[in-house]
Copies of this chain bind each other. A is one copy, B any other.
Amino acid sequence: MAISRQRFGRSCGAVALVLAAALAAQGDEGMWLFNAPPKEVLRKNYDFEPSGAWLEHLQRSSVRVNAGGSGSFVSSAGLVLTNHHVGADAIQKLSTPENDYMARGFYARTRAEELPCADQELNVLVNVEDVTARIEAAVKPGASLAEAEKARRAAMNTIEQESLEKTGLRSDVITLYRGGLYQLYQYKKYTDVRLVFAPEESVAFFGGDPDNFEYPRYDLDICFFRAYEHGQPAKIEHYLKWCRAGAGDGELVFVSGHPGRTDRLDTLAHLEYHRDRSLPDMLRLIFRREVLLRSYGERSAENARRAQKDLFNLQNARKALVGRLAGLQDPAVMARKRAEEESLGREEAGHPGAKDFQSACAAVAAALQTLRKIEKDLMLLEQEQAFRCQLFTIARTLVRLAAEQAKPNAERLREYRQSNLESLRQMLFSPAPIYEDLEAVKLADALSYYMERAGAGDALVCKVLEGKSPVERAAGLVRGTKLRDVAVRRKLAEGGLAALDASRDPMILLARQVDGPARQVRRVFEEQVEEPLRQAYAKIAKIRFAARGSAAYPDATFTLRLAFGVVRGYTTEFGQPEPPWTTLAGAYRHAADHHNQEPFALPRRWLDGKDRLAGRTPLNFVSTADIIGGNSGSPVVDRQGRFVGIIFDGNLESLVWDYVFSAQRGRATAVHAAAIEEALRKLYDAAPLADELGR
């Protein structure tokens, strides 16, 4: 699951101070389930009571962008507003060297001009059902870990398939509280999605990597899609009203979106694992790939265009992970976690749960020991880091699709469950361009990394390379495969196992060659790491709820959550006051401060149109709402549920939120409704689009 714009990352010296404050903080923490909103806190602190209708309206107006991000309906005719960086994958796939919509922007003046996206899927959550009892009943008492994992997976696949058959809705069983709760989420799905509007990337991501996760900020990080049904714009009942005035300083706001992942429940041992193993490992790969793609991109403007989206994702992830690691490398963070764990242990000491807590923590540590042993193979083989390129992913998907479809639904790998196949096929048969040269560069690097990590003498490495160097083997694979052709993919998918068996396509042969070992390490991971972690965290969660009722929201799972907070500036650790919002005039000043040079170069359209804009229009604003990567594109609404802005980032001081929340300096950053309307009307000549907002 790709989560767009992971927010946590980047080094910040203020972590210790933030934490000291966090210990005292109550306030605006939490990514709440819509069916368990923080009613008491809202009533007590903000004198606000969300009605059932208020909640349902906001829920149904919220959109999950399946590729990784959030959004909202903002018109009755299916208009969806999300971030430019969430839509960038689709925009990039629609672009060519001649029509580079990433660079130049795009606006469809008529419905006919709206551009169908290759493989965009939007989900709207329409129903939630608790299935905990059924899942837990499926796991017999005394079941081994392997039996438990298998039984649980079978139950989930089956529940989803039943739901799909009964309702026709996309149906996902979601694991909440790391296994404390299971819920069936039913989504209405839109797959005919068309691009309506995108600004130039230079203003959507104004300030580039240097300004990413910074504040003050000046980005028009938006784009519009339209959901279609039966070839017509979708008729939408629940969409957000538009409030150009936005929210004032100190005003209560809500964020409805899909935070991707948090680790707030993690034990100390688990955080140490992140700090010592998984984060450094991921970062090493990211550094390597960032350098690779930069080098590739610098060879020509066209190369740069081809690598742009990958590079953005890498840089964004890198900044987030560096910050997460910096948080964990701060002894104050770890000391706080340790104190909390010890205090929980003490509180529980007299209770019957005390032993449970200790044994659960021990089980987590034991599962992580197992993970340390298999993490390399898992990452190389199952997570495809040894073969990282689009063509290999396609080959593996074809190979596994044939194998999994031949099994009963209940026994399949999760991503091949019947209820997920339509989404999977949409990606598999995407006509989006695949660039042979870029694929060869990426695969050569991946194979070299494989040799480095697994060892040049490793039997599978030798088999995979066939006596060639990584560069030579990669070139042969990319030149030899026919999988760039969608028709070839379709034919192989339709032909099932027989077609796969008969295929001599070199990439298919490679995917088959490594499938056994990959599945094997995955099975060990699922049975001996994931399953014991799930069982242990389910116990820990229950104990924590008992002891700390107030923190009773689950870690993020890329499913719909409600956060709240107030629009509010803050004072940096150096005593610098930062304002609650920036303005359009500020964007021009920021560009001038950097001589309007990349990545601080405003588009020509903005430079020419400066005099037409009201300089005091708010551009970006910050609030104390609790967000994380995946929230990108989430609507910010006021008490009346009206759209006042769209989340696109968090500041540096929010990077520690993956592990612990604090609103002392941490802030969620959003584009203001007024700037969106002002830019559409005065710079982009897009009054019809602006007129449609909220209508």
A interface, CB within 8 angstroms of B: 11-13, 15-16, 208-210, 272, 275-276, 280, 283-284, 287-288, 290-291, 294-295, 298-301, 318, 325-326, 329-332, 334, 444, 448, 451-452, 455-456, 465, 467-472, 475, 594-595, 597, 599
Contacts and interface: CB of A to CB of B under 8 A. Distances in A.
B291 A331 contact: no
A287 B314 CA distance: 13
A58 B594 CA distance: 50
Given A11-B444, A287-B288, A208 B329 contact: no
A124 to B, nearest CB: 38
Given A298-B599, A329-B448, A469 B284 contact: no
Which residue, A287, A470, A599, has most C-beta atoms of chain B within 10 A?
A: A287
Contacts of A280: 452
A144 to B, nearest CB: 34
A326 B209 CA distance: 30
Contact of A465 (B13, B276, B331, B597): B331
Contacts of A295: 209-210
A330 B325 CA distance: 35
Given A13-B472, A329-B469, A301 B456 contact: no
A325 B448 CA distance: 9
Contact of A210 (B298, B330, B331, B595): B298
A163 B452 CA distance: 47
Given A326-B470, A448-B326, A456-B329, A595 B301 contact: yes
A597 B597 CA distance: 13
A469 B272 contact: no
Which residue, A272, A318, A331, has most C-beta atoms of chain B within 10 A?
A: A331
Nearest to A332: B469
Nearest to A448: B329
Contacts of A465: 331
A331 B472 CA distance: 11
A326 B599 contact: no
Contacts of A16: 468-469, 472
10 shortest interchain CB distances as A-B pairs: A330-B469, A287-B287, A13-B471, A210-B299, A11-B471, A210-B298, A13-B472, A280-B452, A287-B288, A287-B291
A18 to B, nearest CB: 11
Given A16-B472, A287-B290, A331-B469, 5 more contacts: A11-B448, A15-B469, A209-B298, A287-B288, A329-B456
A209 B296 CA distance: 10
B329 A470 contact: yes
12 contacts: A11-B470, A13-B469, A15-B469, A210-B298, A275-B456, A284-B284, A284-B287, A287-B287, A298-B599, A330-B472, A331-B469, A334-B456
B444 A594 contact: no
Contacts of A283: 288
Contacts of A471: 11-13, 326
A92 to B, nearest CB: 20
Contacts of A291: 287, 290-291, 318
B326 A276 contact: no
A300 B452 CA distance: 36
Contacts of A329: 448, 451-452, 456, 469-470
Nearest to A476: B13
A530 to B, nearest CB: 26
A472 B333 CA distance: 14
B456 A276 contact: yes
A272 B16 CA distance: 44
A300 B594 contact: yes
A484 to B, nearest CB: 21
Contacts of A11: 444, 448, 470-471
A280 B287 CA distance: 13
B467 A331 contact: yes
Nearest to A444: B11
Nearest to A325: B448
A15 B467 CA distance: 13
A300 B329 CA distance: 28
Contacts of A444: 11
Nearest to A208: B298
Nearest to A283: B288
Contacts of A13: 469, 471-472, 475
Contacts of A275: 456
Contacts of A12: 471
A13 to B, nearest CB: 4
Contacts of A288: 283-284, 287
A282 to B, nearest CB: 12
A443 B325 CA distance: 16
